[in-house]
Structure 1
Amino acid sequence: MLNHRFVEDVCADRLPPDVFQRYVAYEGAFVETAIAIFAYAVARAPDMEASRWMIGVLDALANEQIPYFEERYQTLNITQLADLPPQAAAFDNGMHELAKQGDFLDIATAMFAAEWMYWSWSKRAITCQISNPDLKTWIALHVDDTFAAQAMWLKQAIDRYGNASDLSRLSTIFAKVTELEIAFHHAPYEEADPS
């Protein structure tokens, strides 16, 4: 994922505007799913510390992320999608189903995989020339202290609440989410160039 075409295009300042617009639409749709995912995490949290942290995440998603996307939709003239394309829908549905069926550790691992991936490639991208101000803002959101703290908290929660018997299952979840993320980042290109 760290060498995905999307990341390489961002870092080379050549991400096509239409690809970015579709990406924003898919990401905005996923934030609504993420609210449901973290709600499952709150319900299954092992203690009050974890509950409080996840409630804070829900607040940020609902009151910071959703308004961000609403503003981007207006700024970039993006229409909210009734249906996601297959690869974006697979990510959205796969993450939701994992949270619906999984326990707290499963959910923490799934979101850790996604957030660690974003934080990792965004740290590289933020050092590059990015001429699209909306894209630059998007990258900056994923390297700020709040996002980094969220990724680190999830990592530490897996260590704190998990044990050796969870390792195989959680590793499988991490790998699956990474595969879904790779496909998700293919999606805005596929719609532009289905060949």
Structure 2
Amino acid sequence: MGFAEELRNNCAADWDAAVSHSFVDQLLDGSLADDNLRRYLVQDYQFCDAFTALLGQAVASAPSLPSRLVFARVLGAFASDENTYFQDCFTELDVPEADRTAPVLGPVTRDFDALMRNALATREYPDVLAVLLVAEWLYGDWAARAGDASTWPAHSKHSEWIRLHNNPEYNAWVTWLRDEFDAVEPVSAEARTRVAGTFAEAVRLERAFFDAALIPAEVQA
């Protein structure tokens, strides 16, 4: 068992709860209410800055040019395809400019952003990978539940978010990221404990983020 699989198994309850969350169920069957999707996307978009910085730090701290190039390619795709999806949905869902660029952040959003920036501040490759891996692998797992594209929801605001996390290129990226994480498993007990803690907290927050998407903002405040 690799380091990635070990850490995932250690937090299987939160992982499985996130992958099978009712938010995901509603997204996959196309019944997710616009208010909930809007709330989710507005908050999720606020991670783009920290996530982009994490990818940049991965480029800087990766141990080899081939690894750096993988992150560079993903960074380019993230800046184009995923950003386009957000902007298209914001327009369709009538999200005002203020909520696109500077919304009131929910408690889970603040905590998740802080986790990303703490990992970024370490400038340690395994710490950075721990957050990236959870974000990408867990999304790949829930998106895989969608099955064949012929069964996906008809509306692009649902189906495109699935496609972005369920396609051959994305699946290959997650597999590569998992292998890369295993390859840099920390040697020292201190570093191993720190990275494992970051991984587990990221999983917990992923679950909590889906919870928050189904709760009106005024209740969360």
What range describes the TM-score normalised by the shorter chain of this pair? 0.7 to 0.9
Q: 1:132 aligns with which of 146, 155, 171?
A: 155
CA contact (8 A) 1:19 1:192 kept: no
Q: CA RMSD in A?
A: 2.2
State the match for 2:86 in structure 1: 69
* Higher RCO, 1 vs 2 (CA within 8 Å, ≥6 residues apart): 2
Aligned-residue offset at 1:192: 5.3
State the match for 1:143 in structure 2: 166
Tell me the distance in 2 between the aligned counterparts of 1:57 and 1:182: 24
Tell me the distance in 2 between the aligned counterparts of 1:194 and 1:126: 34
Deviates more, 1:49-58 or 1:79-88: 79-88
State the match for 1:175 in structure 2: 200
Aligned-residue offset at 1:112: 0.8
Asked if residue 153 in structure 1 is aligned to residue 186 in structure 2, the reply is: no
Q: 2:58 aligns with which of 41, 52, 67?
A: 41
CA contact (8 A) 1:40 1:100 kept: no
Deviates more, 1:110-119 or 1:44-53: 44-53
Distance 1:9 1:193, change over 3 A: farther
Tell me the distance in 2 between the aligned counterparts of 1:129 and 1:160: 35
Aligned-residue offset at 1:3: 2.2
CA contact (8 A) 1:31 1:65 kept: no
Aligned-residue offset at 1:186: 1.9
Give 1:19-34 correspondences, 5 Å limit.
19-34=36-51
Q: Which amino acid aligns with 2:179?
A: Q
- The alignment covers a number of residue pairs equal to 195
Aligned-residue offset at 1:162: 2.3
Task: With the length of structure 1 as denominator, give the TM-score of the two structures.
Answer: 0.88
State the match for 1:186 in structure 2: 211
Deviations 1:88-113 (A, max 9, x none): 22212221222222511111121111
Identity %: 27
Deviates more, 1:114-123 or 1:18-27: 18-27
Task: With the length of structure 2 as denominator, give the TM-score of the two structures.
Answer: 0.78
CA contact (8 A) 1:126 1:139 kept: no
Q: Which runs of 5+ in 1 are unaligned?
A: none
CA contact (8 A) 1:88 1:183 kept: no
State the match for 2:108 in structure 1: 87
Asked if residue 108 in structure 1 is aligned to residue 129 in structure 2, the reply is: yes
CA contact (8 A) 2:30 2:158 kept: no
CA contact (8 A) 1:37 1:100 kept: no
